[in-house]
Amino acid sequence: MLLYARRENEEFRVCDIRAQMKDQLTTLDFAQRLWQLFRALISGTIDAFRKRLGETAEMIMAAIDDRIEEFFVQAL
């Protein structure tokens, strides 16, 4: 990956590209951890309405999870 990125961006050194990739992965890792916190809050809120929503509560969480997964896959 580093060599491919180097070929695409000849003005950068390999160490610069590696640092850039590391920064991007660190940002994604932080976003994923932050998402887990938000997911817990959202899930807890939806659980409070589970009796009224019934099966819809699971559908909502599944839809949210699908969208977030798409986001992280696209970010890679």
Task: Name the region of 13 (left: φ>0; alpha: ψ -120 to 50; beta: rest).
Answer: beta
Show pLDDT as tens, one digit a residue, over the chain (76 residues).
Answer: 656 666 676 777 777 778 888 898 899 999 999 999 999 999 999 999 988 989 999 999 999 999 999 998 998 7
pLDDT of residue 6: 60
Distance between CA atoms of residues 7 and 37, nearest Å: 39
Distance between CA atoms of residues 4 and 58, nearest Å: 42
With 0-12 / 13-18 / 19 or more C-beta atoms within 10 angstroms meaning exposed / middle / buried, residue 35 is: middle
Domain residue ranges in the chain: 2-75
